[in-house]
Amino acid sequence: MLKIGTILIFAVLFAVGCSINENQFSKGVSSSSRDILNKCKCTQYCYGEIYDTACLINEASHPKNCIDLLGTKTTKGVYGGEDKYFTEEIKKACFENLISKQNSIELCTSFPDEFQYKCFASVGKKNLEPQHCKELPYSYKSDCYLHISKNKADFSLALCNELDKEDKINCYANRATIHNDSSICLKLGEGIDKINCYSQINKNFDSNFGNKYYTPIYFDWFVKAKFDSRLINESYCIFESPSGEDNTITRNQSCYISLAMYHKKLDECYELPQDYRGINMIRKCLFYTALWNNFDLKECDKFGIDFKECRDGVALSKRDINFCKEVYTTERDKSDCIYKIATDYFGSFGKKNILLCKDAGSYKRDCISAIYKEDDEQFLKKEVCELLSESNDFLGFSAKCYHKFALKNLDLDSCEKIDDGFSQLKSDCKERVQNAIKS
């Protein structure tokens, strides 16, 4: 039998426990927070009254929920370990998760300041509405504006002008990139700002910026951009020192190649030096300029020892294998010319032609390998199947090509052309085509 004193102690402890639970739900805790606790309470394999952290965060629908849940036990310590609770750090994660779900600014003012700013900026970026970001502290405002300037075509340059110098340049460059109009950079006041704007456009237009040293860095940009050609000058090729250690500017030689290409002036190539590795940039320039502009071969005559590079560019620009055969005297050079035309080796035309590989001589295998893709329907042609059958390296591809072509077109003759080394595929082809014709 328990003593009276012991009974009183238990009674006091029970009363204290009840008062704590009641206080948790009575002192300013919203009904929605109570619903969250009820939904997230652990009901299986639990050690005491605990609540799932991820559930608490995901169920929060108002910043007050995240605040109400502070102190909620999330893990019961076992084997001497400490209990864990919904902490200030978890509250911040709760705010962040809630902000990520907002599509309007209605709830934003309910957050504490820092998260209120994040909320407005997040909604502004999500809806591409700069007015939501306008009154925010600069770091939030600039991040929001720059995001919108990359994703909204009618973003106003007036808003770029609200930004600090470096962000302003990036904002102009984003606008220029979206509109494929590099002349937008010319609206910046200082020359060095325009130059840096050009360099930012280049990074956006050319995904291989910095990786293709000898390929003209503005090759694709000139094709895509829309601007007044009179504005293209040396300033496009001068950049601030990439080291950031000083204010020196450096010439980008591969950009000068691009200027010659764009101006269609082979003579501009002779303003280039040999690069630091001793590779002759002049000859590179002659080749690319001739390749890109479809000159006549006679325009290369004046270049003496540099005639070859100019001639090679002209030959490839014609995309005519007969021209290759006329220009070159050795079979190897003729084959190389045809191979490069067939594979669009320099990426100049965006068009490959596998059937030209037939005339690529010693480069025939490499030519087919560079172009053919087994699962690409554009190659499901009888002529392509035949080309593949002419090389032992591609007999397997040829057999499957004829097989697919025969089934698609009910062409029994294509079944017969399957090499005898693939007898099972050949008999399957004939049987299926014959049955299909009968039915």
* Backbone phi, psi, residue 348, to 5°: -90, -25
Banded model confidence at residue 234, pLDDT cuts 50, 70, 90: low
Contact call for residues 76 and 83 (beta carbons, < 8 A): yes
Structure tokens at 2: 């328990």
Rounded to two decimals, the pTM is 0.55
Of 16-20, 187-191, 314-318, the least confident: 16-20
Q: Which residues contact 301 (CB under 8 A, 6 or more apart)?
A: 307
**180 or 314, which is more confident?**
314
Contact call for residues 279 and 234 (beta carbons, < 8 A): no
Closest by alpha carbon to 219, among 292, 131, 124? 292
Single-letter residue type at 156: S
Banded model confidence at residue 402, pLDDT cuts 50, 70, 90: very high
Banded model confidence at residue 22, pLDDT cuts 50, 70, 90: very low
The pLDDT value recorded for residue 193 is 81
Q: What is the largest CA-CA distance in the chain?
A: 120
The pLDDT value recorded for residue 185 is 83
Task: Over range 146-167, report the average pLDDT.
Answer: 92
pLDDT > 70 fraction of the chain, expressed in percent and rounded: 79
The pLDDT value recorded for residue 183 is 74
* Mean of pLDDT over the chain: 83
Q: Identify which of 51-60, 213-222, 345-354 has the greatest average pLDDT.
A: 51-60
Q: How far apart are CA 250 and CA 234, in angstroms?
A: 11
Closest by alpha carbon to 175, among 195, 151, 209, 193? 151
The pLDDT value recorded for residue 178 is 84
Task: Over range 26-52, report the average pLDDT.
Answer: 86
Q: How far apart are CA 123 and CA 116, in angstroms?
A: 11
Closest by alpha carbon to 238, among 211, 199, 273? 199
Q: Is 369 a residue whose pLDDT tops 90?
A: yes
Contact call for residues 373 and 354 (beta carbons, < 8 A): no
Q: How far apart are CA 28 and CA 172, in angstroms?
A: 49
Helix, strand or coil for residue 204? helix
The pLDDT value recorded for residue 46 is 84
The pLDDT value recorded for residue 45 is 83
Q: Is 279 a residue whose pLDDT tops 70?
A: no
CB atoms within 10 A of CB 254: 21
DSSP state of 240: E
